[in-house]
Structure formats: structure tokens, C-alpha cells
Amino acid sequence: MKYILISFLLIFTSACSTSKKRTLTPKEYLNEVFVIIEKKSINRDSIDLQSIKKVAYAKLKDTDSIENCYPIIQSILKNLRDNHSRFLTREQVNKWESTSLVGDNQNLITFSGKLLNENIGYIHMKGFSSGDSISIQKYADSLQHQIKSIDNKNLNGWILDLRENSGGNCWPMLTGIGPLLGNGICGFFLDNNGNKSPWFYRDGESGYNNTTITKISGQPYKLLNGSNPIAILTGPRTASSGEVVSTAFRNKSNTKSFGLNSAGLSTGNEIFKLSDGAIILLTTSIYVDRNGNVFGDKIKPDEIIDYGYQTIGQPNDPAIKKAIDWINKKQHHTTVRKELKNENTL
């Protein structure tokens, strides 16, 4: 499906050390690709890489330029069977890195928010696909501003709707939604050597290990009531970076997920720049939640609620109805406990 094919997760940026002053031959270019794959692919130990190499190099006899290697590389990535790795030409990379220059910056604000029933904050968060620093900053700042504009002392809770989040760049997403996440480690990337790199949100910044990737330009927003319940809505179009956001809320206190299984791209792609400016987005890790649960496939919500895409955000949306019901019950139980506690202290 198109929405899955176009989604990817930006994790790290790596410049290939084999960059040359001269133009590489097609064989050298393919060597460059396989060095990366052999070292970093999440599936390197579960595939017949030698057979993949044999077929790829055999195709070079009809190849006289690096550009003619592109279909070969796309075939190689498909044969890795991770269903997530991608190849972008230099032209595609330039476009992705310069979205703020082509006048569609406003179209990148792919979220919306509103109050439901005057006491539920609702954020509908689609994918965000850009590597442009200006676009990234605008997205993260705008999302926190949206949350601030909805938040008030009378809220019973929040609904974060990820059912149409097909992925893109996870860092502005995590930074923007940070007020709901709260400070701390919210997940891990597990690589093919068994190493876990934690990802975090902290005081307006998101990143992995000790590296900040995206941060709010001004003062980060903090919820008026950080203990309010949060319902996460997912479905088959929740893919890649959308699944990062979903994972970030897994096993967070006062949080529950509703809807359908996610797309099954809960794996991390690392960027590797090739000598001609093209990049490989190679799947190098698997998502792990804050409690150590490993994914790598479809992520099942806490409660299955079927729905139709034509009902998303509508008054008859069954997932939203269920989420509202859960939030209100949670708040009722919290109120009752407080009243009992106050009575016991009299």
C-alpha cells in the first residue's frame, strides 16, 4: 500500500567513509552499498546475503553508470526482507531536505486538535515527512502550541489519534507531543548486536542515548495536569514513525491504547549517505517499549475496537467513543478515591 511504502523513520545520519573525489565505478558503488548492509542490516544473519550479492553483481554487466545501479540497489533492499528499507536518489534527498523552500511548509503541519465534549483534548496526528530543519522546527513548535491551546484545568484526559500516521520523521513528532509523554525514556532501538539505544523526551527535547535530535525553539509546554489519562488510537495505517509514537506511550501510567493492530513496520531505519549524494534508509533496529517488550511487527492495542476510516474523528467514531468512556471512568474513579481519602483524614 502506498501509505506504507512512503513511510520511513529517521533515526541517525551517517556519512559513508568511502566517499571518493573521483566518480566510483558501478562495481565500487555496489561495494559501498554491501559494506553498509553487511555491517548494519537487522536481517544480515537471517538472509542468504551471498546469493543476493551474486545476483546483484551479475546485473552489473549491463550497467555503465552509477544511476543504472539504482534499480539494482532497490532490488537488494527488497531482498533483505525487512519490508522497510528504502533508497532515495540525490534529487529525492534534496527535495526532502528543502521542503521549507518550495512553499508547502503549511502542508507539513499534518496534525489538528480540538476539544471533545468540552473536557477531552483530542489530537489527530498524521505523518510528517521532511528532513528540512526549518520545517522540523515549525512542526514541533506548532504541535506543542496546539496542545497548549487545548489544555485547561477542566480536562478529563487526552486522546491521541495515530490511525492515519503513516510515518516519516519521528523526532519532531516526539518533541511536539512531548507534553503528553512527559520527561524520561520512552522506548529503545534494539540493533542486530543486541544493543539497546534509549530514546527520550526531556524538557522540550527528543533524541536517543545522550544525543538531542530535535528541540523546541522556545519554552517547552508542560500540561496543567500531567496525571490525566491518555488514550492512544492505532490502526493498520499507523506505520513506522507512527509506531514509534505509539511505542513511546506503551506501558506509560494512565495510558491505554484502542483500535486495531498497527502496520507492522515497528523497525528503525538508519540513514547512510552514498558517494553520489543518494541515501539508503536501512532497517537496523527493532522498537522496544519502556518495559522491555520487543516489537518488530504489528503492535496490538490494549483493546481491539473496529472502525471505518470514514468515521475517524466523527461523532459516530467507535474508537473515540470507547476512549472517551474509558477516560471518564478513570476520572470518576480518581475523584471517588480522592473523596474517600479526604473523608478518612477528617
Amino acid at 212: T
With a CB cutoff of 8 Å and minimum separation 6, the contacts of 267 are 9, 42, 82, 84, 283, 285, 286, 287, 296
Confidence grade of residue 270 (pLDDT, cut at 50, 70, 90): very high
Confidence grade of residue 336 (pLDDT, cut at 50, 70, 90): low
What percent of the chain is modeled with pLDDT above 70? 89
pLDDT at residue 23 in the model: 83
Q: Using an 8 Å Cβ cutoff, are 248 and 181 in contact? A: yes
- How far apart CA 35 and CA 211 sit, in angstroms, is 26
Give Cα separations from 221 to 87, 116, 282 (angstroms): 37, 21, 34
Q: Is the pLDDT of residue 187 over 50?
A: yes
Q: What is the DSSP string of 134-153?
A: HHHHHHHHHHHHHHHHH--T
Q: Is the pLDDT of residue 333 over 90?
A: no
pLDDT digits (tens, 9 = 90+) for 285-327: 999 999 999 999 999 999 999 999 999 999 899 999 999 999 9
- How far apart CA 56 and CA 257 sit, in angstroms, is 43
CA dihedral 302, 197, 3, 94 (to 10 degrees): 160
pLDDT digits (tens, 9 = 90+) for 189-229: 999 999 999 999 999 999 999 999 999 999 999 999 999 99
Confidence grade of residue 278 (pLDDT, cut at 50, 70, 90): very high
Helix (H, G, I), strand (E, B) or coil at 245: helix
pTM tops 0.85? yes
- Strand boundaries in 89-209, DSSP class E: 111-116, 120-125, 157-161, 184-191, 196-202, 205-208
pLDDT (average), residues 264-273: 96
pLDDT digits (tens, 9 = 90+) for 85-142: 999 999 999 999 998 886 655 678 899 999 999 999 999 999 999 999 999 999 999 9
Of the candidates 181, 185, 310, 297, the residue with the CA atom closest to the CA atom of residue 238? 297
Q: φ and ψ at 311, to 5 degrees?
A: -95, -5
pLDDT digits (tens, 9 = 90+) for 35-79: 999 999 999 999 999 999 999 999 998 899 999 999 999 999 999
Q: Domains in the chain, ordered, with CATH? A: 2-95 (no CATH), 106-268+280-339 (3.90.226.10)
Supply the Cα-derived Rg of the chain in whole angstroms: 22
Amino acid at 179: P
Q: What is the DSSP string of 279-318?
A: EEEEEEEEEE-TT--B-SSPPPPSEE----GGGTTSTT-H
